[in-house]
Amino acid sequence: MPRAQRLAALALVALVAAAGVARGQEALDDEPLRRLDPDTLAGGDYGGTEPQPLAGGTYGREPQAAPRAAVEEPLTTQLQIGDPLAGSRAGFGAPPRGPRARRLADEPYSPTGIRAGAFILRPTLESTAGYDTNPNEVKTGGKGSAYGRLRGDLDAVSDWSRHQLDVRLSGQIRKFTNAPDIGLEPQASATVDGRIDVTADTQIVTQLRASITTSSPGDPETATDVDGDEIQKSYGATLGVAKRFNRFSLQLDGLVDRYLYDDSKLLDGSELDNSDRIYNAYEVRLRGAYELSPRLQPFAEIAVDTRDYDKRFERLEDAEGNPVNGKKLGSDGYALRAGAKFEATRLITGELALGYGRQTPKEKSLDPVEGLLIDGSIAWVPTALTTVRLNARSALQETNLTGASGVLTRSVGVAVEHALRRNVLLTARATVERLNYKGIGRVDDAVTLALEGEYRLNRSLSLIGSFQHEKLASSESGEGYSSSIIEVGLRLRR
């Protein structure tokens, strides 16, 4: 073939190849960004997320939620006063944007769940033994103790073509061998989330919730001479409607919650009356969001609430031990937030919101609790084996400390999840929290560092272990503590 013809042929081939690459790149640029699927990130379904506090705040420690299966979510992600942002949600009629689900053959260590009619059940059972260097959470003179812990979780998710029902149950007890003044520390929670698809653009969202917790021994709002557990209970409901208008969406929610505190048994045999801590919380939220693109959805939200106590006044005693009325109980508040759900790259996704909140006590002599609200949740996947999660949350909470009008709480956390192998998972966590008690000048700073590991023997059985260090520093003289906790055990899942 003459040289000129060979050069012409090569030029034609190069031109065709360049056109193909350009066309492929154009198609790639037009492809909507896929949302990250937590179940496909490093660590799989290990760890889960903590349950969100109910409207009006929460006290004590709450159990962690069980791992959840990916389900279709409502239109908008809601913020509650005192709650962090929820995870990224696709919205009405949106096609799945996450990676395609992998076959079970490709995930030999993931639980398969149990099908029961139209529901998929995912039960989990944990049995562990551990050691806490300071179970009473005292500043000096704390004595360590071994303990045993038993925990059970159950997730039930409907598998309907329309509508959605999601049930989450969790319970836990822990018993120390060398801390007789600490009881079984029962923890339990139940949540039922429902979604009714009225039309393609209209949904009714509901939630029923209840919880039982025990106060932490180091909680400043708990008496230091409590014998056994100080039980706290709550239950509530949410009813809302969500409507989409093309790219714009609105959701209106109403929340009602009740918080109960059992009387505390003291070491001297007497009882401490906690009836002045019982209250109801009512909240209304309105949120609007606009989808600028599949990668960016700004939103704004306003929430107003009121907290009414069963007893109008705080219970106090005079110098002679006679009961007298203290401050007037209850508060009214509002919160404004603005932020966005975003997907900065294929490796980063999340939500971030800034706002302002104010809770005004009904006692006129107390100053309002107010401040900047920062809430967010961001996931970054630098490699196929590693996931970094950042979160921030703010809360305006009630308190029973004399002279305090409320508590402004802010926390920031980071977790790094890494899969050494398909069945060997490590997670490192760090959390910093500040509690500012308005009106009395008290500030508590808490730091928690943790390292968790899981070795999956098969789909159902895992060896688990963790080490955690906690430190609380307080501006109040004599307050604060530090402790270290190590734990090993078994986890059974289906």
Query: What are the residue ranges spanned by the domains of the chain?
Result: 34-493
Comparing 55-59, 154-158, 313-317, 437-441, which segment has the lowest mean pLDDT? Answer: 55-59
Comparing 126-135, 240-249, 263-272, 318-327, which segment has the lowest mean pLDDT? Answer: 318-327
Query: DSSP letter at 104?
Result: G
- For the cut 50, the answer to whether the pLDDT of residue 97 exceeds it is no
User: pLDDT at position 287, please?
Assistant: 96
What is the largest distance, in Å, between two alpha-carbon atoms of the chain?
A: 117
Comparing 61-70, 216-225, 411-420, 457-466, which segment has the lowest mean pLDDT? Answer: 61-70
Instruction: Check: CB of residue 88 under 8 Å from CB of residue 77.
Output: yes
Place of tokens 């949350």: 393
Helix intervals (H) in 131-263: none
Tell me the average pLDDT across 107-119.
88
User: pLDDT at position 315, please?
Assistant: 67
The chain-wide mean pLDDT, for the chain, equals 79
State the CB neighbour count (10 A cutoff) for residue 18. Answer: 10
Query: DSSP letter at 140?
Result: S
User: pLDDT at position 342, please?
Assistant: 93
268-282 confidence digits (pLDDT tens): 778 888 888 899 999
| Alpha-carbon span 308 to 279, nearest angstrom | 5
Instruction: Check: CB of residue 129 under 8 Å from CB of residue 145.
Output: no
**For the chain, what's the residue count?**
494
- For the cut 70, the answer to whether the pLDDT of residue 106 exceeds it is no
Predicted confidence band of residue 150 (pLDDT cuts 50, 70, 90):
very high
| Alpha-carbon span 204 to 243, nearest angstrom | 9
State the CB neighbour count (10 A cutoff) for residue 418. Answer: 16
Per DSSP, the residues of 241-289 read EEEEETTEEEEEEEEEEEEEEPPEEBTTS-EE--GGG-EEEEEEEEEEE
Predicted confidence band of residue 319 (pLDDT cuts 50, 70, 90):
low
Comparing 74-78, 333-337, 398-402, 424-428, which segment has the lowest mean pLDDT? Answer: 74-78
Residue 211 host element (H or E): strand 202-214
160-218 confidence digits (pLDDT tens): 989 999 999 999 999 999 988 888 999 999 999 999 999 999 999 999 999 999 888 77
Distances (CA, A) of 412 to 171, 219, 480: 26, 20, 20
12-26 confidence digits (pLDDT tens): 434 334 334 334 433
Topology of domain 34-493 in CATH is Porin (2.40.160)
The pTM is what?
0.76
- Residue 269's Cβ-count burial label (10 Å; 0-12, 13-18, 19+) is exposed
With a pLDDT cut of 70, the percent of the chain lying above it is 76
User: pLDDT at position 88, please?
Assistant: 30
Closest CA to 289 of 77, 93, 84: 77
Torsion of CA 111, 98, 166, 456, to 10 degrees: 20
